[in-house]
Amino acid sequence: MGLVALVACVGALLVYDVGRAPEATQAFAEPVRNATIVIEEGGARKGFSTPEVTVSGGGVVTVVNLDSMDHTVTSVANGPDGLPVFDVRIAAGTTATVPGIDALAPGEWAFYCKFHPSMRGDINVVGGGGGVEPERPTFEQPLVVPRTETGAHIRLVMKRALVRTRPDGPRTSMWTYDGTYPGPTIRRRGGRGTEVTVVNRLPKGAGAMSTHLHGDHHASADDGQPTTYLIEPGSSRAYDYPLTVAGRPEPGSFFWYHDHRMDRTARNNWRGLQGMFIVTDPPLPGLRLPTGARDVPLMVSERSFTADNQLTDPFAGGPEMVGHHGQMAWTGPKAPPDDATVGDTVLVNGREAPYLQVSATRYRLRLLNSSPFSSYNFTLSDGRPFLQIGTGSGLLPKAVVRTGVLLGPAQRADVIVDFSGATGRNLVLESVPAEPGYTGDNARQASVMEFRVGASAPDPSRLPSRLPSPKLVSPVPSKVSKTWTFGLAGDDHASFWSINGKAFDPDRVDHRSRLGTVERWRFRNTSQVTHYVHIHNEQWRTVLRDGKRPPPWERGLEDTWRLDPGEVVEVAGRFTDYTGAFMIHCHMLDHEDHGMMARFDVVR
Ligand code: C2O
Ligand code: CU
Looking at the CA of residue 597, tell me the nearest atom of ligand 1.
2
Residue 135 has pLDDT above 90, yes or no: no
User: Dihedral sign, CA of 443, 557, 398, 545?
Assistant: negative
Task: Give the whole-angstrom CA distance, residue 76 versus residue 83.
Answer: 10
pLDDT of residue 12: 35
Residue 514 has pLDDT above 80, yes or no: yes
Least confident of 17-21, 82-86, 412-416: 17-21
pLDDT of residue 10: 36
Task: Give the whole-angstrom CA distance, residue 356 versus residue 384.
Answer: 17
Nearest Cα residue to atom 1 of ligand 1: 214
Looking at the CA of residue 583, tell me the nearest atom of ligand 1.
2
**How far does the centroid of ligand 2 lie from the alpha carbon of residue 592, in Å?**
7
Residue 110 has pLDDT above 50, yes or no: yes
User: Which ligand number lies closest to the CA of residue 275?
Assistant: 1
Q: CB under 8 Å to 598, separation ≥6 — which residues?
A: 484, 499, 500, 502, 504, 510, 511, 583, 584, 585
Residues with CB under 6 A from ligand 1: 212, 214, 258, 260, 410, 534, 536, 583, 585, 587
Least confident of 79-88, 208-217, 543-552: 79-88
Split at pLDDT 50, 70, 90, the class of 27 is: very low
CB 238 within 8 A of CB 246: no
197: helix, strand or coil = strand
**How far does the centroid of ligand 1 lie from the alpha carbon of residue 211, in Å?**
9
Q: What is the mean pLDDT of residues 112-127?
A: 91
Judge if the upstream peptide bond of residue 319 is cis by omega within 30 degrees of 0. Answer: no
Nearest Cα residue to atom 3 of ligand 1: 214
Max Cα-Cα span within the chain: 93
Residue 25 has pLDDT above 70, yes or no: no
Nearest to 522 by CA among 475, 564, 483: 483
**How far does the centroid of ligand 2 lie from the alpha carbon of residue 448, in Å?**
24
**How far does the centroid of ligand 2 lie from the alpha carbon of residue 411, in Å?**
13
Looking at the CA of residue 592, tell me the nearest atom of ligand 1.
2
Instruction: Establish how many alpha carbons lie within 13 A of residue 462's alpha carbon, considering only the half-sphere containing its beta carbon.
Output: 8
User: Which ligand number lies closest to the CA of residue 373?
Assistant: 2
**How far does the centroid of ligand 2 lie from the alpha carbon of residue 500, in Å?**
14
Residue 163 host element (H or E): strand 153-163
pLDDT of residue 16: 34
Question: Ranked by mean pLDDT, which of 252-256, 403-407, 432-436 comes out on top?
Answer: 252-256
Looking at the CA of residue 214, tell me the nearest atom of ligand 1.
1
Angle 131-132-136 (CA atoms, 0-180°, nearest 5)?
130
Q: What is the mean pLDDT of residues 151-178?
A: 98
Q: What is the mean pLDDT of residues 42-68?
A: 91
Residue 35 has pLDDT above 50, yes or no: yes
Residue 8 has pLDDT above 80, yes or no: no
CB 49 within 8 A of CB 39: yes
Mean pLDDT of the chain: 92
Residue 323 has pLDDT above 90, yes or no: no
User: Which ligand number lies closest to the CA of residue 527?
Assistant: 2
| pTM over the 0.75 mark | yes
Task: Give the whole-angstrom CA distance, residue 17 versus residue 585.
Answer: 64
CB 497 within 8 A of CB 596: yes
Percent of the chain with pLDDT over 70: 94
Q: What is the mean pLDDT of residues 46-65?
A: 91
User: Which ligand number lies closest to the CA of residue 591?
Assistant: 2
Looking at the CA of residue 212, tell me the nearest atom of ligand 1.
3
Looking at the CA of residue 560, tell me the nearest atom of ligand 1.
1
pLDDT of residue 1: 36
Beta strands in 370-471 (DSSP E): 376-380, 386-391, 394-402, 405-407, 412-418, 426-431, 446-453
Percent of the chain with pLDDT over 90: 82
Three-state SS annotation for 500-562: CCECCCCCCCCEEEECCCEEEEEEEECCCCCEEEEECCCCEEEEEECCECCCHHHCCEECEEE
pLDDT of residue 20: 38
Residue 217 has pLDDT above 50, yes or no: yes
Q: What is the mean pLDDT of residues 432-451?
A: 78
Least confident of 228-237, 416-425, 465-474, 507-516: 465-474
First to last CA, the chain: 85
CB 477 within 8 A of CB 518: yes
CB 337 within 8 A of CB 113: no
Residue 532 has pLDDT above 80, yes or no: yes
pLDDT of residue 438: 59
**How far does the centroid of ligand 2 lie from the alpha carbon of residue 68, in Å?**
17
**How far does the centroid of ligand 1 lie from the alpha carbon of residue 560, in Å?**
9
CB 448 within 8 A of CB 378: yes
More confident call, 12 vs 126: 126
Split at pLDDT 50, 70, 90, the class of 31 is: low
More confident call, 283 vs 516: 516
Residue 329 has pLDDT above 80, yes or no: yes
Q: What is the mean pLDDT of residues 337-343?
A: 93
pLDDT of residue 423: 98
Split at pLDDT 50, 70, 90, the class of 5 is: very low
Neighbour tally for 144: CB within 10 Å: 17
Residue 14 has pLDDT above 90, yes or no: no
